[in-house]
Amino acid sequence: MTITIYGIKSCSTMKKAFAKLDELGVDYIFHDYKKQGIDKQSIQRWVNALGIDKVLNKRGTTWRKLDDEQKARADSNESQAIEMLAANTSMIKRPIVEGEYNDQNVLLCSFDEEAFISTFS
């Protein structure tokens, strides 16, 4: 029963996710994108399961700083988008929670308190 939570430690959404997992008594490993990076295979797995629109954070400042050509490439080519996400981990929605819990596969993207409660209660 290993759960990994992926994100950036200083993110306010991550802090909510950590607090909820702690409150629910869930043991987890934290993977910090800023310190550890992330491999393209993991991003591809998340995109395959959730879709690029769920994984790519278009509301953040990193996305907004891209020029129109970069945004168009990401929008038109999933492989290009995955390359961008690997290089700019701040563009990955946070948190990504992945692993196995009570013999169930878990993959959650972004913090949704009700989803955390239903998954881990």
Q: Residues with catalytic annotation?
A: 11
Residues in the chain: 121
> Taking Cα atoms as reference points, which of 89, 95, 91 lies closest to residue 21?
95
Pairing outcome for strands 104-109 and 96-101? antiparallel
Alpha carbon distance 107, 3 (integer Å): 9
Helix axes 12-23, 113-120, angle to 10 degrees: 30
Which class for 5: exposed (0-12), middle (13-18), buried (19 or more C-beta within 10 A)?
buried
